[in-house]
Every structure is written in structure tokens, then in C-alpha cells.
Structure 1
Amino acid sequence: MIARELISSVPALHPSDTGTKALRLMSEYHLTQLPMVADNKYLALVAEDDILDMDNPEATLESMENTGTRPAIMEYAHFYEALKLFHDFKLFVLPIVSREGTYLGIITKDSLLDALAGFNAVKEPGGVLAFEVDPRDYALSEIARIAESNDVTLLSVNTITIPSTGKLEVILKTNRQELQSLIATFERFNYNIKYVFSEEPEEELLKKNYDLLMNYISM
């Protein structure tokens, strides 16, 4: 997924806008940052705090002191790069520009979060399990083979380096709710299972709630 696919329909500010109008737009769209644009060129990222620091909120934005920060992302950049910029600059929105420098729109934190959720199959039903391995022992082909041998499809695979040990934490999102056989196979191959989250099938959840209700009534 690339940056231009995440553009949100939020209006930009203009140098002739007043601080009051900027605050109104930010409130309307529930944002604390908006880009300032003139002649389709991205000029600056205006923050709510910048406006509140103005001596006169009815003054135009062009009279506001420039903060010097102008984060942006190219339209064909991968959304991982957008995620890095959001983190590095503590952003709530990220302007998108073309190769020619034309302003195209913004990515909001909410749209980025939705993309990240989709990319990691968060919305798909299924269980999650994680284990730790030494980096030299990490082999995605073997992990996929073990999952396949248990009739489990891996919807997403993520790795995180644990600073204290240098090991990799491997997080698997699967298409299966029941993971006991998969866990047993990983343990047989000496994988150290760290945690498991498995959703209960709806019928089992209903039965559990029914049993709790019956117990309450019989008290």
C-alpha cells in the first residue's frame, strides 16, 4: 500500500486564513494539525499550539512565526515510511506531495491505523501466538511449513527484536481459533512459546454466558 492510497478528504489551510478559522477547522475534523498550502504547494504543517501562541487569533497564518518543521511524504512511498514519519515527528497528519512538489492531500493517524490493521489481518478472525528465537535460528520457511502441516494459514507474520536478550519475538496471526495442535508442534521443534490469544467460537461463548446466567438464577 502506498501513501496516495491513504489520502483523506480534509481541507488545507491557506496563508490568508485567520488563526480562528484554523482552530475551527481543526475542531471540525478532530485534528490538532493541518497543512498550509498556497498555489498547490505545501508550505508548512500548522499545529494547534502554534495558533494558540499567536498574540491575535484573528491575524492571518502568514503572519505566524514559522516553526521550521515541514514533514511530508512522496505519493508513491510505502505506508511503512509514513508510519516512521508519524513516529519520528509525533504527527497527527502527514502531508503527501508529488515528485513535482504539488500538494495532494494528507494521511491522518486514523487512516494509517486502519491500513496497519488491514495489513496485519487484525480484523480477520483467528488466533495469535508468539515465540522467541535466536536471529540465526529464524526461518520463515520452516515456520510456514509447521503451520501448513497443522492445516493453519498464516495471515500475517511480524518480528520484533527484544533489546534485553537480542532474540526475535515472532508474532503469528492465524486463520484458526483452536491452536493447541499448532502449539504442540512448535514446542516439539523447540520453539519457546511466549503467549497465545485464541478467540472463542461464538457457540462456545454463548454456552458460557448461558451457564453463567443459569448459575446466577439458581443462587
Structure 2
Amino acid sequence: MHAKDFINPMLPVLKSTDTVGEALNWMEEYRIGQLPLIHEQEYQGLISHDILLDADEDLPLLALQPEFEDAFANVNQHIFEILKIVQQHDLQAVVVLDEEQSFVGTISVQELLNQFSKNLGSQEIGAVLEIAVENRSYSLSEISRLIESNNVKIISSYYTSGTGLEDSKDILTLKLNQQDISRVMATLERFEYDIVGAYNFEEITSPDKERYDMLMKYLNL
């Protein structure tokens, strides 16, 4: 999952001789709010939709000041690094350059997020668990072992740092391959893991709920 794998070759490239009107038409056609300005394979920066709206449609892009000339990805940068660039600069498009800093292509941020969502397993049927942990002191291998002891597997996981406040905790989010996770939750709570959220799971109904409540009472003895 590197930058070169997410390039959309269909996205147009702007030249300094293109007009504001032409750039606006391309952005509307491809439903993207930013496009790269390139001169002889050299990246000049991004032209944004908002800037174009304030300019005359016949004005050449040469007369405008592009933005984010220092915001780009190298061909072999990982998707996590690309997402960091997107977040830092609030981008809708990410330009990809090679080792010689020559233009290679453009990534649509919307397409990137869609692909990232698929890689996280969001399209798969299964529950999502949020577990509060402290200062990365948790063991993912131990949590995985406890979950798999109930014949459930982890499809994907990601870690979210807390706010830094005294009572804040980091959150480990797990996507599982099943919706019936009552036994998983019971096992984790038995080992004193703090489950702060559970989503897209099968509700426990009677008489299953009665058996679940009895199990939880037993585990809390």
C-alpha cells in the first residue's frame, strides 16, 4: 500500500497556460477540489477550487499563486504517511513524485480513503470493539489469543492516542469476523480489559441474555 498504488491516471494535470475556466470544468467533471499545476514534469503546487472561484474565467493559471508546493508524497511512501500529509494540510489531492522529484501522478483523497476503509475490513460483516488501554502497555498478541480462544478472529486493528489529559486513555479498535461476540466480551472483561464500545454486534436476547448475565455474575465472583 504505497503512494504509487493509489495514483489515478485519469485525473487531469494543469498547465500554466490553462485558463481558470478550464480548470473549473475539469474539477467539476472529476469531482475534485484540487488539481496539480505542473511545468515540464516539475510540481508547482496545487490549484484549489476556492481560489478559482474568485478569478476571471479567462485568466491563465500563470497569474495565480499555487498552494501546498511542499505537500507531496514519494512513490514508495506508505498509506499511513500519505494520510498524515492529508491531515496536516487538509488536502483533497496528493501529488506523487519520484526520487528525482519529478511528477508521477495524482492521488484522489476520496479514493484513498475509500480504499483504506476497505483495507480496514469495514465492508466485512462483523463486530467492532473499542478497548481502553494505557500508554501502549497492552499486548496485542495476548488480546488476540483471548479473542481467538472463542473461535473469533481479528480482521483489522488500529490504535488511537488519547488527548493527553490525566484521565484520558488510548483506544485500541478491533474489527472482528463475527457479530456474536458475547463470549469474547465476557473473556476480555474476565481478564479486566476495559471495553468502552461495541458496535455492529448481535444483541443478546432471552434466554441467551439470562445465560450471559449468569456467566458475567460468575466471572465477577
For Structure 1 versus Structure 2, the TM-score category normalised by the shorter chain is 0.7 to 0.9
Deviation for aligned residue 1:68: 6.3
1:40 is the counterpart of 2:41? yes
- C-alpha distance in structure 1 between counterparts of 2:67 and 2:200, whole Å: 47
Q: 1:102 to 1:67 in 2, by over 3 A?
A: closer
User: Which amino acid is the alignment partner of residue 174 of structure 1?
Assistant: L
Secondary structure of the residue that 1:135 maps to in structure 2? coil
Tell me the equivalent position of 1:102: 102
Q: Distance in 2 between matches of 1:180 and 1:68?
A: 48
Amino acid at match of 2:198: V
Question: d(CA) in 2 for partners of 1:82 and 1:144?
Answer: 28
Contact 1:178 1:198 in 2 (8 A): no
Aligned residues: 200
What value does the CA root-mean-square deviation take over the aligned residues? 1.7
Structure 2 CA distance for aligned equivalents of residues 40 and 77 of structure 1: 20
Task: Tell whether the 8 Å contact from 1:37 to 1:43 is kept in structure 2 after alignment.
Answer: yes
- Tell me, yes or no, if structure 1 residue 171 matches structure 2 residue 173: yes
Kept in 2, the 8 Å contact 1:127–1:173? The answer is yes
Query: Where has structure 1 moved over 6 Å in runs of 4 or more?
Result: none
* Matched-pair identity in %: 31
Query: What is aligned with 1:62?
Result: 62
Matches within 5 A, 1:164-203: 164=165, 165-200=167-202
Quick one: distance in 2 between partners of 1:90 and 1:68? 10
* Mapped contact 2:73–2:94 kept (Cα < 8 A): yes
Counterparts of 1:140-179 in structure 2, within 5 Å, are: 140-163=140-163, 164=165, 165-179=167-181
String of CA shifts for 1:38-69, please: whole Å, max 9, x gaps: 22221121111222232x32021112234464
- For the residue of structure 1 that corresponds to 2:25, the secondary structure is helix
Contact in 1 for aligned 2:96/2:106 (Cα 8 Å): yes
Are the aligned partners of 2:181 and 2:202 in contact in 1 as well (CA < 8 Å)?
no
Give deviations 1:66-86, integer Å, cap 9, x for gaps.
446442110100011110111
Deviation at 1:141, TM superposition (A): 1.3
Is residue 81 of structure 2 the alignment partner of residue 81 of structure 1?
A: yes
- Pair 1:126 & 2:123 matched: no
* Equivalent pair of 2:44/2:66 in contact (CA under 8 Å): no
Q: Classify the secondary structure of the residue corresponding to 1:25.
A: helix
Shift of the alpha carbon at 1:136? 5.6
Structure 1 Cα separation of the partners of residues 108 and 13 of structure 2: 13
Amino acid corresponding to residue 182 of structure 1 in structure 2: V
Q: TM-score under structure 1 normalisation?
A: 0.85
**Would you say the 8 A contact 1:42–1:102 is kept in 2?**
yes
Q: Structure 1 residues 183 and 111 mapped into 2: Cα distance closer, same or farther (>3 Å)?
A: same
Q: Deviations over 1:3-62 (max 9, x none)?
A: 0100012011111101110111111111111001122221121111222232x3202111
Letter in 2 for 1:150: N
Structure 1 unaligned residues grouped into runs of 5+:
202-219
Secondary structure (helix, strand or coil) at the match of 1:23 reads: helix
Larger mean Cα displacement after TM superposition, 138-147 or 61-70? 61-70
Question: Which residue of the partner structure matches residue 50 of structure 2?
Answer: 49
